[in-house]
Structure 1
């Protein structure tokens, strides 16, 4: 309570933790996770997906309200004009462009500070804000049953549930990247040696060897690049399947 009062008096800016969404349907769950973390409760994106009932159509404002109350938050949906937002307690969740949710951290000097789970933190002016704000805001604060807990997961831990299913593909891509370095380093050396031998007029003795070596290095570079591109394409497809299964 004291922190909110001081923030209103001194117009301090709220900064919620960045909580990125891994799928387009997770924006509401990610916004709730950012606010929970701001108040000291760290929850995984998987728990939030379940609590918010995320489906292929995402989650609604009502789903977020229900989930927030399960975690001990006092949360409710309201209609507020842009002018009315200046009197609410931050952070708050906004329904954005009728298909997305963002966290509003502060309003200061005509600038709106957002924590967007799809694009990270950004600041926009009132004109841009008015084009995307739908008039629906979820006001959030800790309730009597709210309990801080959990640990900050970090980006790797957030991504791990998806990455662990594609570890072989990641290892294959890493190996291709290392193999790409070999011809990538060899080609400049070969070309430099060829130029030096031409200047020294010794190209006749080793020129043929250098040409063959450069052709082999070039082919290797092409093959490893092609293999990595194919692996990246398959990895993208596999990740899409994993996300759909979840």
Structure 2
């Protein structure tokens, strides 16, 4: 709902003069319905920007020198900041980030009418005047946040996190011992036909498995204790900040948006308490087993490292697209929450006005849009998983073949 304000902030930033979203939102008198092109035009003029707005053809857009604001999909504003050879259009979308479209995709989203035999869309061109750089506007500086702000919630539980990390290290060491025990069963027990030694090693493996399971149970209890407290702290701080905001803030936010932000605190909590520890554990395990592989055979180690790098590169290819879809999903879920909330709380008015069917159709339209975004997310996830599984399995097969050949030639036991 702040897309027009965000576009104006991007234009100001392009011309080397940053303006805060809060200030621009107040000047534009943004509401839950967003802002109009007229409101953006008035505020831009107040800032010292010269504006020209109207319906223009694609040919004019292709010759732009500075970024311009476009009316997108008849319900949204974006910034067009670059056109490459009249075929590729680079868009800064407040809801999706930096996206590029081909000619047909661009026309589909932007074109709104046809006049004089030409397809046209609405655009606003902005140029800075000397007044834009001379005007000094008194506005409160925006507080910059970093990951230090998030990790401040962890500091209170350093003792528990230390215990969890210690448990992870112990689990990794126990997991490291298992391959050597399996090797000794084959190389010593089976080769020498020593059944007593085999039973001893199997008993040792059983004890290691029980120890790893116990450590994992303790780690999960500690994580539950920490995650619950951190989640309460996050939501409580969110409420504290929300209650300090002026009434005008709630004129620009939908109820569903606020509810979705509260729900997203669980993702932040998961990142702090689970995913961060999982990354540390994975890096430690990766390093340990890489050393083990290198001690056995350098060729197997090289194949393992090469396969892991390709695997990581494949995942990195999808990060940007997943980020865009995540923004889309958040926006659609917020709209869905808001429609559901309105539908339930306005039941009496709906019945009095006899508009049950229309409101139900509106809710179903939102569900269809949400389903489409979820379908796109699932397709991307399946494509990523298919490539990941193929790369991982191919790496394992090649390692198995190389290791078997090394055993045949006497290079490995």
Q: Quickly name the TM-score band, shorter chain normalised.
A: 0.5 to 0.7
In structure 2, what is the Cα distance between the partners aligned to 1:121 and 1:145? Answer: 30
What is the CA distance between 1:206 and its match in structure 2?
A: 6.8
Aligned with residue 125 of structure 1, among 90, 102, 119: 102
Partner of residue 137, structure 1: 123
Tell me if structure 2 keeps the 8 A contact 1:113–1:123.
Answer: yes
Partner of 1:220: 218
Relative to 1, partners in 2 of residues 1:114 and 1:208: Cα closer, same or farther, differing over 3 Å? Answer: closer
Q: Is the alpha carbon distance of 1:160 and 1:105 closer, same or farther for their aligned partners in structure 2, counting shifts above 3 Å?
A: same
- Say which SS state the counterpart of residue 80 (structure 1) adopts: strand
TM-score with structure 2 setting the length: 0.42
Give the 5 Å matches for 1:68-107. Answer: 68-107=44-83
Structure of higher CA gyration radius: 2
Q: CA deviation at 1:194?
A: 5.5
* In 2: Cα distance, 1:127 partner to 1:233 partner: 48
Residues 194 and 113 of structure 1, relative CA distance in 2, 3 Å threshold:
closer
Q: 1:85 to 1:207 in 2, by over 3 A?
A: closer
Which one of the candidate residues 163, 170, 182 is aligned to 1:186?
170
C-alpha contact (below 8 Å) 1:111/1:126 kept by paired residues: yes
Paired with 2:108 and 2:232, the residues of 1 have a C-alpha distance of 36
Of 119-128 and 232-241, deviating more is: 232-241
SS for the counterpart of 1:94 is strand
Bigger proportion of residues as strand: 1
**Are residue 111 (structure 1) and residue 88 (structure 2) matched?**
yes
| 1-structure distance, mates of 2:27, 2:91 | 24
> Looking at both structures, which has the greater relative contact order when contacts are Cα pairs under 8 Å and sequence separation is at least 6?
1
> Which blocks of at least 5 consecutive residues in structure 1 are unaligned?
1-24, 151-156
Say if 2:48 and 2:129, in contact at 8 Å, map to a contact too.
Answer: yes
2:78–2:93 Cα contact (<8 Å) kept: yes
Report the 3-state secondary structure (helix = DSSP H, G, I; strand = E; otherwise coil) of the residue aligned with 2:133: coil
**8 A Cα contact 1:113 1:121, kept in partner:** yes
> Where does residue 65 of structure 1 map in the other structure?
41
Alignment root-mean-square deviation, CA: 4.1
Structure 1 residue 75: Cα displacement = 1.9
* Pairwise CA distance, 1:132: 0.7
Map 1:198-209; keep pairs closer than 5 Å: 199=184
Structure 1 position 32 matched with structure 2 position 18: no
| Structure 1 residue 159 displacement after superposition | 5.5
Cα deviation, residue 141, structure 1: 0.6
Question: Which digits, 9 at most, give the CA deviation of each residue in 1:145-190, with x for residues without a partner?
Answer: 111799xxxxxx67639x97x8865767998877654433321212
Report the Cα offset of residue 122 of structure 1.
2.5
Gaps of at least 5 residues in structure 2 are 113-120, 137-141, 186-196, 250-413
Q: Give the alignment partner of residue 145 of structure 2, picking from 145, 160, 163.
A: 160
Contact 1:112–1:126 (CA under 8 A) maintained in structure 2: yes
